[in-house]
Structure 1
Amino acid sequence: MISGVRTKGRVLVIDDERLHREMLKDALTDGGFDVLTAQDGEEGVALFKQELPDVIITDLIMPNKGGVSTGVEISKYAKKAGVDPVIVLFTSMFKERIREYKTPELGACIHISKVLNPVDVTILVEQLFERNQRKKREDQ
């Protein structure tokens, strides 16, 4: 919650490119999300453990710890903590805009192109968050 205002959910953005990180933060905040940011995988994992956000958006290639290693570590900790975050990997390696994979180490993992518009990312995060919330309700 920010200043007593209820948000749609909490998103952790992990990216070593400050400009990209800030653009995503602004778009997601404007979209109603509470946004945390980290500049690399190590900082992102520490912040995840402290805050337990609902969605993690991480760059694939970063110094100190890449996106896959970050996602695996977050997924392992999330299982122990009893939470089920959605993990989104940003990459400029794929021409396709969005790919979804089911991997045992990461759970459901979405790959999106880094050229995707921040507003489109916000819409995607909203859809993923709602899908994850619906799944949690069905599992109860």
Structure 2
Amino acid sequence: MPGQLVLVDDEPGLREAVQAYLEDSGFAVNTASNAKEGWELVQQKLPDLVITDVMMPQVDGYQFLKQLREDPRFQSLPVVFLTARGMTGDRIQGYAAGCDAYLPKPFDPDELVAIVTRLLKQRESLKASGGSGETPDVADMARQIAEIKAILTQRGAIVQSNSSVKLDFTPREQSVLDLVVDGLMNKEIARRLETSVRNVEKYVSRLFTKTGTNSRTELVRFALENGLIT
């Protein structure tokens, strides 16, 4: 899937290597050596996705992400964090700040390409559904989710919480996941959790990334089959 990307990293060697790999994979990549240059590039290019290092001098990745999210043009722009800090607490901090994916260094370039491809597909799906994060036919989606739950229940495929699949969900991500499995759409989830639809869209996007799924029905099936609901 072609896409316009902005890559921000203060390490020249890594920046050039990642750019070359992404371009070989069919993406158009514009690079910046710091967040200030990255901000200027984003405004010029209006990219489909941003990849940024976290630990940079002067303006770090968190400040850069905050700057992006405060601009209405880039509130839904997918952002991937690259960082040498890969502990669970660091990842949670990154997701809480609003990044869409968090990839610790050193990383497999193929994994980065897979993440970028998935996020771009999700972005296209949002555009196709009017940017709401909902499918065009909400009733049909609810029906599909109900059917999946019924089928898996009949087969005895819903496992308990001792499943071998262990994922690091934040409490809010878990709450959103439980409500998605219950068949609620984003607007309903936002009302239930007393938050904005935009925040729910971000949590659903992170759930897609963490579970390797690309749709709500895939997410529901994955969650039920692996005992990920509370």
Q: TM-score, normalised by structure 2?
A: 0.51
Indicate the residue corresponding to 1:121 in structure 2: 112
Contact 2:68 2:74 in 1 (8 A): no
1:45 to 31, 39, 45: 39
Point out where structure 1 has 5 or more consecutive residues left out of the alignment: 1-6
Residue 84 of structure 1: CA displacement? 2.6
Contact 1:42 1:65 in 2 (8 A): yes
Cα distance in 2 for partners of 1:86, 1:119 equals: 18
Deviation string, structure 1 residues 24-82 (Cα, Å, up to 9, x no partner): 101110111110000001110111111111111100000121001011112222x1x37
Indicate the residue corresponding to 1:26 in structure 2: 20
- 1:75 equivalenced with 2:66 (yes/no): no
1:136/1:61 CA distance change after superposition, 3 Å: same
2:11 to 13, 17, 23: 17
**What number of residue pairs does the alignment pair up?**
128
Corresponding letter in the other structure for 1:125: V
Q: Which moved more, 1:111-120 or 1:55-64?
A: 111-120
Contact 1:23 1:118 in 2 (8 A): no
1:82/1:35 CA distance change after superposition, 3 Å: closer
From the CA coordinates, give the structure whose radius of gyration is larger: 2
1:110 to 98, 101, 109: 101
Q: Which has the higher contact order (CA 8 A, sep 6+)?
A: 1
- 1:138 equivalenced with 2:129 (yes/no): yes
Contact 1:54 1:84 in 2 (8 A): no
Indicate the residue corresponding to 2:51 in structure 1: 57
Identity %: 27
Q: Which moved more, 1:59-68 or 1:87-96?
A: 87-96
Q: Which moved more, 1:114-123 or 1:15-24?
A: 114-123
SS at match of 1:124: helix
Q: Name the structure where helix makes up a greater proportion of residues.
A: 2
1:82/1:91 CA distance change after superposition, 3 Å: closer
> Could you list the runs of 4 or more consecutive aligned residues of structure 1 that deviate by over 3 angstroms after TM superposition?
99-103
1:93 to 85, 89, 113: 85
Cα distance in 2 for partners of 1:76, 1:35 equals: 24
SS at match of 2:80: strand
Residue 83 of structure 1: CA displacement? 6.5
Contact 2:51 2:79 in 1 (8 A): yes
RMSD value, Cα? 2.1
Q: TM-score, normalised by structure 1?
A: 0.81
Deviation string, structure 1 residues 6-26 (Cα, Å, up to 9, x no partner): x71111110000111111101
Contact 2:7 2:30 in 1 (8 A): yes
Corresponding letter in the other structure for 2:107: L
Cα distance in 1 for partners of 2:64, 2:29 equals: 18
